[in-house]
Amino acid sequence: MRYISTRGQAPALSFEEVVLTGMASDGGLYVPETIPQLSADDLTEMAGLSYAEIAFRVMRPFVNGEIDDDTFRRLVTEAYATFSHDAVVPLNQLDANHFLLELFHGPTLAFKDVALQLLGRLLDHFLKKRGERAVIMGATSGDTGSAAIEGCRHCDNLDIFILHPYQRVSEVQRRQMTSVLADNVFNVAIEGNFDDAQAMVKASFADQSFLNGTRLVAVNSINWARIMAQIVYYVASAVALGAPHRKVSFCVPSANFGNVFAGYMAYRMGLPVERFVIATNANDILHRTLAANDFSKQELKATLAPSMDIVVSSNFERLLFEAYDRDGAAVAALLERFQAEPTALADAPLAQLRERFASHSVDDATILEVIREAHHRTQEILDPHTATGYRAAERERGEASVPMVTLATAHPAKFAEAVVKAGFPGVPLPPHMDDLLEREERYTVLPAELAAVQQFVVENRR
């Protein structure tokens, strides 16, 4: 299997190359040239298997023999052994046919661990094989940097530098990053805001000469391996609920669209999915596009669900590529127009998307209301991202006979501010993290100057 770009111009790559490469050279994103199929028998045989074994079976065709089976099985097993729940991603039944898929039992209490625990190991495997080292750089407003750090802390051939805005990150989120004292982990507190940090990371990717030839790797959600790892929990949860004999629907709190796109891939592989419900916060480009064909950027709004605060959904391009029948030129033209001005999808692709996707946007006041209402009805305290999903699922729930699975993307303790605002006394950290506030921290404060940051990277990478 090869991987091709959504804009049709970049060269096709192998799995190994696609893991080591972020964006395609034509500005597009890589997708598999053909979509592997899971037969009804394949799904039936998965019933009762461990999460790691299901993960191995679902992802094996994408790896295309470029990692031998024993090694790949070991990488997958190690990645999911870091989760604190034996089921890795347990299903929690809320009522007769509404389930929460708890994706937050990984090291940093949010679903990004599912992908990043595997991606770090895949990168390290390929780098070792090639006898190369690489540097990872990323910027975070606090919520997602820790998942990248935890995914790479054991990787001998990777050094990771995560920039966060100094004194503008919540204490729990800062400590989740800065208490990782591994030799290859560098937390940099920038005297500036998140945009300053992100601008320096972008500039470093645009001109990598400061690294003298060492590879710079991005671990953001445009990396294909992240999508691949996320396909697994759609399959595992549907099988647990009776696939291939019974359909399910999924509701996904969404931002960059990586998570729900993985679900769509599972569907295209043969998983019987009735519909996908996309939940957004007030940053609702996905909802506006699907509901009103308003494919346009709006100003960023800071919400109570900060991991979903985006202007553009980068992975939506992968779905557009499918909706436009894999016509890379059409996708490139559409996205060029989109960058310049408000635009709209063509009728046929929009109609195709509407057959499988519904959407719902949830504002901050409603998030607080939902946290209270869901607790009243189910005793669960939802994190604010999952709350958008809960509301969308309740609103867009179709036939009662089809189970609805809402993806719980974060543990409420990670976003306690919203939970407290909703009127609860707070949420304790889970037992394996309850000493977080006493752990030793390590980070370096630097001015918001590109030269200072790049010098720090060059001096400290191993």
Ligand X SMILES: *Cc1c(COP(=O)(O)O)cnc(C)c1O
259 binds ligand X (CB under 6 A): yes
For residue 370, state whether it binds ligand X (rule: CB under 6 A). no
Binding region for ligand X (CB under 6 A) out of 120-128, 248-256, 426-434, 438-446: 248-256
Amino acid present at 382: L
The yes or no reply on residue 453 touching ligand X (CB under 6 A) is no
Per rule CB under 6 A, is residue 187 in the interface with ligand X?
no
Complex with ligand X: residue 303 or 454, whichever CB lies closer? 303
Please report how close the Cβ of residue 57 comes to ligand X at its closest, in angstroms: 23
**Which residue, 67 or 353, is less far from ligand X as judged by CB?**
353
Q: Which is nearer to ligand X, 173 or 184 (CB)?
A: 173
User: Site for ligand X (CB under 6 A): which residue of 157, 173, 187, 254?
Assistant: 254
Residue 142 engages ligand X in binding (rule: CB under 6 A): no
Residue at token pair 């540097």: 135
In terms of phi and psi (left: phi > 0; alpha: psi -120 to 50; beta: otherwise), the region of 426 is left
146 near ligand X, judged by CB under 6 A: no
DSSP secondary-structure letter at 132?
A: -
| Member of 165, 258, 328, 403 binding ligand X (CB under 6 A) | 258
Which CB atom, from 173 or from 409, has the smaller least distance to ligand X? Answer: 409
Is residue 28 a contact point for ligand X (CB under 6 A)? no
Tell me: does residue 409 bind ligand X (CB under 6 A): yes
Q: Decide if 129 is catalytic.
A: no
d(CA 12, CA 24): 9
221 binds ligand X (CB under 6 A): yes
422: tokens are: 């909703």
Q: How many C-beta atoms lie closer than 10 Å to residue 398's C-beta? A: 12
Within 13 A of 429's CA, how many CA atoms are on the CB side?
18
Of 146, 256, 289, 454, the residue at the interface with ligand X (CB under 6 A) is 256
Choose one: 52-60, 127-135, 173-181, 253-261; the region binding ligand X (CB under 6 A).
Answer: 253-261
- Laid out side by side, the sheet with 134-139 consists of 215-217, 134-139, 158-165, 185-191, 444-447
Burial status of residue 111 (CB atoms within 10 A of its CB: 0-12, 13-18, 19 or more)? buried
Report CA 329 to chain centroid distance, whole Å: 27
Q: Binding residue for ligand X (CB under 6 A) from 307, 359, 361, 454?
A: 307
Q: Does 112 bind ligand X (CB under 6 A)?
A: yes
Q: Which of 125, 174, 175, 385 binds ligand X (CB under 6 A)?
A: 385
According to CB under 6 A, which one of 192, 244, 253, 349 is a site residue for ligand X? 253
- Counting contacts by CB under 6 A, is residue 308 touching ligand X? yes
Distance CA 306, CA 142 (A): 9
Q: In this structure, what DSSP letter does residue 437 have?
A: G
* By the rule CB under 6 A, 410 interacts with ligand X: yes
Nearer to ligand X, 10 or 251 (CB): 251
* Per-position x/- string for 428-447, each x denoting binding to ligand X as judged by CB under 6 A, each - no binding: --------------------
Q: Can you list the pairs that 295-299 forms with residues at least 24 positions away whose Cβ atoms lie under 8 Å?
A: 295/334, 295/338, 295/342, 295/343, 295/344, 295/345, 296/338, 296/341, 296/342, 296/343, 297/338, 297/342
Q: Which stretch binds ligand X (CB under 6 A): 252-260, 287-295, 391-399, 450-458?
A: 252-260
Report d(CA 65, CA 257) in Å as an integer.
Answer: 28
Residue 453: strand, helix, or coil: helix
Is the separation of the CB atoms in 154 and 131 below 8 Å?
A: no
> Could you count the other beta carbons within 10 Å of the beta carbon of residue 456?
16
**Shortest separation between residue 162's beta carbon and ligand X, angstroms:** 15
Beta strands 185-191 and 158-165: pairing type?
Answer: parallel
The residue type at 332 = A
Select 173 or 259, whichever has its Cβ closest to ligand X.
259
List residues binding ligand X (CB under 6 A): 110, 112, 143-144, 221, 253-259, 307-308, 385, 409-410
Residues labelled as active-site residues? 112
